[in-house]
Structures are given as structure tokens and as C-alpha cells.
Structure 1
Amino acid sequence: MVSKVLARLCQKSGFQVKQSEIHGMAKRGGAVFSHVRFGEEVWSPTIPAGKADILLALEWAEGMRWLRYLNPKKGTFICDTQRIVPPFACRNRQLGAEQTYARETPSAIFDRVNNGYAIDASRMADELGNIRVANTLLLGLLSKALDFSQEEWQSVIEEFVPPKTKELNQKAFLLGRDWVEQAMEMPQTHEPLMDPEISFLNLQKKSEIELEITESWCKGCDICVKMCPERCLKLNSEQVVELTDANACTGCRICEWLCPDLAIKLHLHLPEEIPN
């Protein structure tokens, strides 16, 4: 959606636009990337390494993966600090095991770019009521880096979101825009990111795991069942996923990340949050 909104906005403003996109893999846990180029005259749809004016990433490790495409002298880096740890980074699934994941911190990255903003957009969107508006929240940050009016952005966003979510998406857009306006007063700012020495699984070691399944959203695709490393999920007689062995679940989040319908959500309750 991010690249489509930007391309449409540029097109409506009279620019030539070229867009290159690799899509379709996200529903199977794969990465998706897009290039958008616009100007008075544009020939190529792809951006060479080191030439991008803006890099916007929806996940921290993907931001690191594509950082070399950003112009280090004048580029702007915008990234959601959410961490989607892929299965191959969890070779040791024991609680407290170390993960093979990007260990760069925002502070280290900001030393390598002209402008940098790291924000926990997924958490902020979830607090608004729907984690899926994180993309729109990031568009709010992007809107302050380009010379288009706020009204133009909001108009185009409404073209791409479901009618029932227009109000929520507008709130997310304005939240992101307000956040970056405050951040611009303190250059090289960021939302706190987990210390790389404190792995996600180290937190799990002291936590109670709760798997929330929204049955009305599950379509019985069986992806989570087949991909669960501990084999503790199954489809019941109604073809809805259910947890068969809570003690076997390590909270690796693979089922949550791979569910194409967002029907699974994992909660970690730290000791002080666990009710008696």
C-alpha cells in the first residue's frame, strides 16, 4: 500500500512515475519490496544502490538489508522497529536461546545516514485498535519528507483503504505526522529498541505464553499447523486452528507471523503481569 499511495500521489501531482514491485510472498512469510521513482522525466523503474533519497522499512532487519540503497549523504531512513524473527534465526528453539538476527541499534544506524527515524509503528497502531494501520502511520512520517500537502496525502490514502477503516487510517496518518514533527526538533531520534544482548527468547524464559485465536478470522489454510516447529497446533472438526499442547508452545511467533488473516496473536505475560 505504501508504494501505491506514493505513486498515485506523484501521478496526481503531474509527475512521471515508475514503480517496480515484488509482491505476493508476504502471505507466506516472505519479504516484499518496492521502488518508486518520480520526476519531470523518469526512465528506469529501479533505484541503484546508494541513490535512494528515502528508505522506508516496515521491519527492522529489512531496513538493515536495504540500507545500502540509501544515499548516505542526503538520504532519509524511516523504519518500524518491529522485529519479525524468521524461522532460520531460531535454530535453537529452547527458551532463552540466542537468535541469529540483526543486532544493529538505531543509534548505530543514525551515525551512517543523513536523517534517521525509528518508530514502534506496529505497537502504536495496535494501541489505535488495528495493527494493520502501521503502514499508514509510517506514511505520516513519509509525508513530512516530501513536498506534498497534508490534504493531498489524506485524499489519496482514502482511495486505497476500505471504507470502514478511513477514519482509523486518518488517525494513524496524523499520529505518524505528529510524531515526526516532534522528532524533527530532536534530530537522530528514535523509539527505544530492545537491547541486542536481550533476546526475545530470554524474555520468554520468564514469561507465561498465551495464544489468542480469533476463530471467525481463521479460514483453515493450515499454514500455521504445518509450520509450527513444536507441532502443537491442529485444525479441529470445524477446520479452525486450535492449540493442542500449551506446554509445548515456546512462543516463537511463527504461527502469528505467517497467518495471512491475522487470526493468531501471541501474548507474553511477564511475571508481574501474570494474575494470581
Structure 2
Amino acid sequence: MIIVIQCKDRVGLVGSIATILAQHQLNIISMREHVDKAEDLFFVRLEVEDGETNGIEGTLKEVLPPGAIISVNPIPEKKVVVLVTKEYHCLADILIRNYFKTLGATVQCVIGNHTTLQNICERFDMPFYHIRHEDISKDEFEQQVTETIKQYEPDYVVLAKFMRILSPGFVAQFPMRIINIHHSFLPAFIGANPYKRAFERGVKLIGATAHFVSNELDEGPIIAQQTIPVNHSFTAAAMVKAGQEIETAVLANALKLVFEDRVFVYKNKTVVFGQV
């Protein structure tokens, strides 16, 4: 069972939390904590043996500062909906992990604004919804996507190379629950063919960033990042391939962190408790 807490910092919080858990006969298996001194905020993630948790949130609130955010979860098995366009690499990795039950979540369906990836979904018996964006307004398109997503009541929406800019109204329906992956050239190479343009520019590092979606394009709280070196021997095609591989790896890592309740969001930042 996972317990995550975010609240104002003060002396004695760890001791108070440990005492409450002991009173509920909950044995702590692991604990990670962090204090942001600039914001005077305390974050803690506890993994405890399963036990009686009735009333524990209320008891914890009695000893924590006002406004504390507390979540008591079983070892998580989240539900997700995936949005795609035409690029297969991130979706394929998600579907394989989902099939072998190593994703840490269950994919409910895939929604695409093209039919390019329908076949791979059918191979995994994954429901695929084709929602066209052509010849309809953005509002109509997003309404259809929203209605489809909400049928499944997912915990998170994953943009697996979904190449449409989402409106603030859409994002507001899933606050800090939409996860995106993009190459780390932004804002240097915004728009189409970023790897081709990076090749032409002779870049020496390429990378990827996974983040929560906010109203500012590609500027939401960052979950995970990674870079790899490239050099003059890379062709444009080799750079694209390397970029796709790192995007796949970074998204997989970010999803694991989120699904295991290791990510805290505040302002436009994150605290991420990785595995040790």
C-alpha cells in the first residue's frame, strides 16, 4: 500500500506520521521524503504492508498542518487511455508492456486521429477509436475525444506522440493527468521534422522529455528526461531512430514513476522519488 502526503513543513512531521501508522499497525517498508525550503513544503511517500486503513486519512490530518494533501492507495493499478496520431514507437512499447502486465497500469483503449495505428491495436485486442479532426472544428473534435475518454474513467491520459495541440478547456478536464512525450529540442526546433533540422544544425546531444500537460505548450511539470550523444557520423535517418528509442525509454520511465505514485506536482515543478 502506498501513502503519499504533501503539506507545509514543520518540525516533527516524520515522527508524527510514523506514530499514526504504528497506531494503525501499519509497518513501514520504505519511506522517501523531501523538503522544499524555498516553498516551505514537505513531501513524503511511504510504502507500508497492507493493513487496516479505515479512518487513517482523518487521523493523519489531525496531526498535519492545515491543507495537507493525503492519498492512501493500494499498490497501484491505474487505468489509462492512450492518444496517438501516426508514429508507432511509443504506442508499441505501451501495448507490449500492457500485454505482459509490466506497465503498472491497464490500457483501456487507444484513440487516434488517423487509422495508421489501428492494425497494431487490433493485434493486441485493444479497442481503437478513430476520431477524425479534418472537416470539423477543434471544439467538435475535442468533444468527441472527451466523450470517448470519459467512458473509461481513466486515471491518466497518455499522449503517445499525439500530434494535436489541446485546448485549455480540454486540459482543464484532466488536470495534471495528461502525460506527454516530446523530443528535447524544444524550443530550438519547434514544428515538423525536428530531427532533420537538428541533423542539419549538427547538434551533439538529442533527448526526450516527459511532462504533464498544462495550458502552456510543452511547458508543463517535467517528470523525466534523458539525453544521448550523437556526432557527425549520424545520418538524419539514424538520428530519427535514436530519437524514437530515447522517446520510448523516457515515456516508459515516466509512466512507471507516475503509476507508482512517485511524482508530486506543485506550481510548475515536480518532486520525483525514483527507486533506489
TM-score for both structures, normalised by structure 1: 0.28
Higher share in strand: 2
Higher share in helix: 1
TM-score for both structures, normalised by structure 2: 0.28
